[in-house]
Amino acid sequence: MNSFLITLIATIVFAIVAPVLGCLLDGLDRIISARMQGRVGPPLLQPYYDVRKLLQKEKVSVNSVEQVYIACALVFTLIGGGIFFSGQNFLLCIFLVTLSALFFIVAGYSTRSPYAEVGAERETLQVMSYEPMVLFVAIVFYQVTGSFDVSTVVSLDHPIITYTILAFIGFLFILTIKLRKSPFDLSSSHHAHQELVKGITTEMSGSTLAQVEIMHWCENILFMGWTALFFITASPISWVIALVLTALVYFLEILIDNNFARVKWQSMLKSAWFVALLAGGINIALLAW
């Protein structure tokens, strides 16, 4: 079976499974956050109820191109997930996720709303902040395995984190940005006290906003896959260990989200680049040496 067919099948499977897992993960996130804040919280399937309600609403949008941009962003996220989970090129997966983010940004700008434009500008800054560290992670993977293929990484006898511990620390830092958690949730906060208007998604509603939520679910599952990649080896038991450690990482992100206030974009950009140059740069230098 050629790589194109494998990727196609993986993309279809990802498009079916990722929204389900992402919805459950989002629901669990809300429950844990509520308990940390002393509240009961919503039911586990509340994210599904919200999206279902959005899909039932009348299709209303500021312009026709907004829906096209959001659809493209969702499609590129699904393709990126298919490429990653089929064991194909990790670098290509990163580029597709970045391309998805760019379509999302353009969708925000296309509405011509001042609030959405501010959110789009912040989303651009978020991409600029995390992208260097993500590329450094791909580079150290290549240095260790000699290939960008995900299948090469998972066939190692030792987890790749034994060679990339500094890159993993840097990745954990920017993961907070990619998961849209406080203190780096600048473009569209899910905390009501931090936004008067809903940032980049201000003018989005109905099925368009539902696609955005589904896209975020898929992104979260994909990013958790990136996290697990640091721990998976050729041994089957490593998959269980990776699952547990990835769950702990996500719990850490929820803990950070509920204990830190939003920072200014200047602090986000400077700190993310500093961590990338320090952790990623040193790790690359050590592997090269």
CB neighbours of residue 247 within 10 Å:
15
DSSP 8-state class, residue 49:
H
Which residues, including other chains, have CB under 8 Å from residue 4's CB and lie 6 or more apart? Answer: none
Question: In this predicted structure, what is the pLDDT of residue 247?
Answer: 95
Q: What angle do CA 199, 19, 126 make, to 5 degrees?
A: 35
Question: In this predicted structure, what is the pLDDT of residue 128?
Answer: 93
* Secondary structure of residue 89 in the 3-state scheme: strand
CB 252 within 8 A of CB 108: no
Question: What is the C-alpha separation between 124 and 148, in angstroms, rounded?
Answer: 26
Bridge partners, residue 27, by sequence:
none
CB 200 within 8 A of CB 60: no
Phi, psi angle pair for 109, to nearest 5°: -65, -30
Domain residue ranges in the chain: 3-288
Nearest alpha carbon to residue 120 among 181, 66, 200: 200
Amino acid 190 reads H
pLDDT in tens, the chain (289 residues): 577 898 999 999 999 999 999 999 999 999 999 999 888 889 999 999 999 999 998 777 777 788 899 999 999 999 999 999 999 999 999 999 999 999 999 998 988 888 888 888 999 999 999 999 999 999 999 999 999 999 998 888 889 999 999 999 999 999 999 998 888 888 776 655 555 567 788 888 888 999 999 999 999 999 999 999 999 998 889 999 999 999 999 999 999 988 888 888 899 999 999 999 999 999 999 998 8
Q: Where are the alpha helices (DSSP H) in the chain?
A: 3-36, 46-56, 64-85, 90-110, 114-145, 150-153, 165-178, 206-228, 236-257, 265-275, 281-288
CB 217 within 8 A of CB 25: yes
Cis amide linkage into residue 114, ω under 30° from 0:
no
